[in-house]
Amino acid sequence: MKKIISHIITSGITMLGCWFAFSLKGPNLDKELTALHKQNDSLMLVMANTKLERAKLDSISNNLKSQVIEDKKQLTTLNKKANEYKKKYNEELRHIDSMSNNDVASSFADAFK
């Protein structure tokens, strides 16, 4: 118990000494406080600007995400068309491969009539 009381008294004296040292500064303290307030205001302004910039970037990000989704839909549609054309191409190629030379020549000539 003596140690606790001794610690409390020592802490109180230390705090009292700090208070005296703090109060002795006087005018310098006002200047420091003013500088700290200006610094705080500046930091708050930077934080506000950063929030605005982040909101703008979030908006751009969301727009780009929706554009990516739309592009994926278009690519899916184009992929279906490409597969259909590939299928038709392969069918025509098999048809031509199965034809005789005379049939190919005749078909070719008929295309230009």
10 assigned to some structural domain: no
- 109/75: higher pLDDT: 75
Structure tokens at 108: 């070719």
11 assigned to some structural domain: no
93 assigned to some structural domain: yes
- Assign 51 a pLDDT band (cuts: 50, 70, 90): very high
Backbone angles phi, psi at 25, to 5 degrees: -65, -40
| Nearest Cα to Cα of residue 111 among 85, 92, 87 | 92
31 assigned to some structural domain: yes
1 assigned to some structural domain: no
Determine the structural domain holding residue 88 and report its residue range. 27-111
- Assign 81 a pLDDT band (cuts: 50, 70, 90): very high
47 assigned to some structural domain: yes
Indicate if the pLDDT at residue 19 is higher than 80: no
Indicate if the pLDDT at residue 12 is higher than 70: no
Q: What is the mean pLDDT of the chain?
A: 85
45 assigned to some structural domain: yes
5 assigned to some structural domain: no
Q: How many domains does the chain have?
A: 1
Which pLDDT does position 2 carry in this prediction?
62
Nearest-angstrom CA–CA distance, 57 and 9 = 56
Which pLDDT does position 113 carry in this prediction?
73
Which pLDDT does position 24 carry in this prediction?
54
DSSP reduced 3-state for 14:
helix
Q: How many CA atoms does the CB half-sphere of 82 hold within 13 Å?
A: 6
- 29/21: higher pLDDT: 29
Looking at the chain, list the stretches that DSSP marks H as alpha helix, in order from N- to C-terminal side.
2-24, 27-98, 101-111
